[in-house]
Structure 1
Amino acid sequence: MFRNIFARAILCPNRSFNLPSATMSQYGPQFVQPVFKKENIAALEESGEIAQIAHVPVKAARNNDSCSVFHNDLVSQFINYVMKKGEKRLARQLVEKGFENIKRLQLERYHLAETDEEKEKIELNPRVLLARAVENSRPLLQLTPIKRGGVRYQVPVPITEKRSYFLAMKWLLEACREKERTVHFPEKMAWEVLDAAANQGKVIKRKQELHRQCEANRAFAHYRWS
């Protein structure tokens, strides 16, 4: 097969040919996933499972895997969704500026609060607010088109955890980009994250609208198994 492809490439140098890509991993089935977080290593040591994988070959960790205490998986994933055309440094700068705006707005509310009880309810950590906003924006159900008897029905089905996190962050970014172009992205991001963290705003309405549609189509739920 490769001999024929290379022969045609020599005879037709100006023509492009697609070589078959490798469908197998470079790691065999005996390789295990790397454990690079300190809390996971401590849990393995307490349970005694670390002795079982001490002499097992381990896959290489990815470039974005880090054991730093300042690393946050959710923030890293959100930065990847913000990124366009591989400009990760720009995406990281935009998200950090958005965190600064969130911290500034929360500090203003903190200093305007009159009682200590109100001050205790105000969260100042922007990463905690982002995690809270994503959790509030996660849908529980989604509509899937299923064809039965020549008719395509919108059937409500449970959504996976990975898909729900993706939709929540996608809706947050779409809500940020729908605002006026005269407003910079960090400011729009701060407004949307604070609204979603308070369980209000466009993203929360979009999630509730999806749940209402799923509730309206609950009569077709049995088509999921038929």
Structure 2
Amino acid sequence: MRKSKPKKRYVLPDPKFGDTLVTKFVNSLMISGKKSLAYGIFYNALDIVEERLGKDDPSVNGLEVWKKALNNIMPGVEVKSRRVGGATFQVPTEVRPERKVSLGIKWMINFSLKRNEKTMKERLAGEIIAASKGEGAAVKKKDDTHRMAEANKAFSHFRF
């Protein structure tokens, strides 16, 4: 490469929990630069999660449930297309830690958008609860990604 790599940008921690991962999530959730609205959706979704899961166990923390859900969604391996001698192979590769987080965030937001609850905070809360239990569309996406990598394990010697 001719140019040097761009400098890594660091995000500031969020105002309520002081966590940078929350800020990254809210930045991905944000549409048209409306960050305060995105924060409101996220915090209200965590309140809904605490309310729904608090019926069984009153010591439920919404942030911990969200982090558990995100860990259940993040993929370990993925397939990348690699061209070798005219044929294209799906080569399984390990996912870098930053990419794991960004894929997990992206999948959680996209699949919560596709849910059929009324408001975005309810959709996000539903997806967080489902993912923390190891079910839901985002966890299925992760399982499909892992299954694809497992099926193409024979091509792992083409790794770059």
Q: TM-score, normalised by structure 2?
A: 0.88
- Check whether the contact 1:74–1:131 (CA below 8 A) recurs between aligned residues: no
Residue by residue over 1:10-63, the C-alpha shift from the partner in whole angstroms, topping out at 9 and shown as x without a partner, is xxxxxxxxxxxxx8x9xxxxxxxxxxxxxxxxxxxxxxxxxxxxxxxxxxx97x
SS of 2:33's equivalent in the other structure is coil
State how 1:52-201 maps to structure 2 within 5 Å: 65=12, 70-110=17-57, 124-180=60-116, 183-201=118-136
Q: Distance in 1 between matches of 2:14 and 2:138?
A: 32
- Check whether the contact 2:14–2:22 (CA below 8 A) recurs between aligned residues: no
Q: Distance in 2 between matches of 1:185 and 1:204?
A: 19
How far apart are residue 85 of structure 1 and its match? Answer: 1.1
Distance 1:176 1:70, change over 3 A: closer
The RMSD of aligned alpha carbons is 2.5
4+ aligned runs moved over 4 Å, structure 1: 66-69
- 1:203 corresponds, among 112, 133, 138, to 138
How far apart are residue 103 of structure 1 and its match? Answer: 1.2
- Of structures 1 and 2, the one with the larger relative CO (CA 8 A, separation 6+) is 2
Q: % of aligned pairs identical?
A: 25
Distance 1:90 1:158, change over 3 A: same
Structure 2 alignment gaps of length 5 or more: none
Distance 1:176 1:214, change over 3 A: same
- Check whether the contact 1:134–1:169 (CA below 8 A) recurs between aligned residues: yes
Residue by residue over 1:168-219, the C-alpha shift from the partner in whole angstroms, topping out at 9 and shown as x without a partner, is 1111111111122x61111111111011111111111111111111011111
Structure 1 alignment gaps of length 5 or more: 1-22, 26-60, 112-122
State how 1:12-31 maps to structure 2 within 5 Å: none
- Check whether the contact 2:13–2:19 (CA below 8 A) recurs between aligned residues: no
Residue 141 (structure 2) pairs with residue 220 (structure 1): no
Q: Distance in 2 between matches of 1:193 and 1:212?
A: 23
Q: How many residues align?
A: 156
Q: Distance in 2 between matches of 1:67 and 1:128?
A: 15
How far apart are residue 104 of structure 1 and its match? Answer: 0.9
Q: TM-score, normalised by structure 1?
A: 0.63
How far apart are residue 107 of structure 1 and its match? Answer: 1.7
SS of 1:108's equivalent in the other structure is coil
